[in-house]
Amino acid sequence: MNDKSTHFGFETVAEADKARRVAGVFSSVAESYDVMNDLMSMGLHRLWKHFTIQVAGVRTGDRVLDVAGGTGDLSLAFAKKVGPKGAVWLTDINQAMLSRGRDRLVDHGYTLPVARCDAEKLPFPDGYFDCVTVAFGLRNMTHKDAALKEMARVLKPGGRLLVLEFSRVWAPLAPAYDFYSFKILPWLGDKVAKDADSYRYLAESIRMHPAQPELKTMMEEAGLARVDYFNLTGGVVALHRGYRI
């Protein structure tokens, strides 16, 4: 693969084409995103995100950046933690997802700062946030290394980055997980979101994402220290955590 090409699921595509196609995926599924999350994870995504909030350890008055925050469920939970003296920024590169997230926050009584931006070029100063999170968004980024460096850059010394992402499942579970991913998931996408292809891409993008040890190394190379990770649900999902020293 040369510098001008990358992966879109199992396909090799031009970098510019990937950005356009990923945007198409999330614009297509934005309306049904939350319902599909509950269905395809059988509600487990709520537990994974709750665990992320607990591990983040944010306190009253902290500044938090939610990268690729989508429909805003992590931003909402963080807003309750940091209180009125803190700040939570909800960001996403996709306007349809960001609009859903903004509306959800307002419906819950929270008017948080919202910004449409690229995770590879964050519009924030160095050392601004106590905590940065990205949940189920990193695997869709074209230059993951650049995005991780940007997230590390905007952290205060002692601040932490948390990456919640689909990962490598425990080997004995792999056959059943593959059947679910490539047969059941696209069928659900077709029936609920009227879009089987986007959920087929989801399954493929998970397989192309770095495994737990590789992502740990990438975070270290981005300048983070004391990087560790937690396998959740047999490695279906992993939460990585690293600190800016």
Domain of residue 161, residue span: 5-243
Helices 33-41 and 15-29: crossing angle, nearest 10°?
90
Q: Which two tokens stand for residue 95?
A: 């306007």
Give the number of domains in the chain: 1
Listed in sequence order, the DSSP H helices in the chain are 15-29, 33-41, 44-56, 73-82, 95-107, 144-153, 174-179, 185-188, 196-208, 212-221
Q: Regarding beta strands 225-232 and 87-92, do their DSSP bridges make them parallel or antiparallel, or are they unpaired?
A: unpaired
Whole-number average pLDDT of the chain: 93
Rounded average pLDDT over 33-56:
94
Q: How large a percentage of the chain has pLDDT more than 90?
A: 80
Give residue 139's pLDDT band: very low, low, confident or very high (50, 70, 90). very high
pTM of the full structure: 0.92
Rounded average pLDDT over 210-228:
98
Q: Say yes or no to pLDDT of 182 above 50.
A: yes
Give residue 31's pLDDT band: very low, low, confident or very high (50, 70, 90). confident
Q: Say yes or no to pLDDT of 207 above 50.
A: yes
CATH code of the domain containing 73? 3.40.50.150
Give the pLDDT score at 214: 98
Give the pLDDT score at 1: 47
Give the pLDDT score at 29: 80
Lowest mean pLDDT among 28-42, 70-84, 165-179: 28-42
Rounded average pLDDT over 236-243:
98
Lowest mean pLDDT among 19-28, 203-212, 234-243: 19-28
Give the pLDDT score at 7: 77
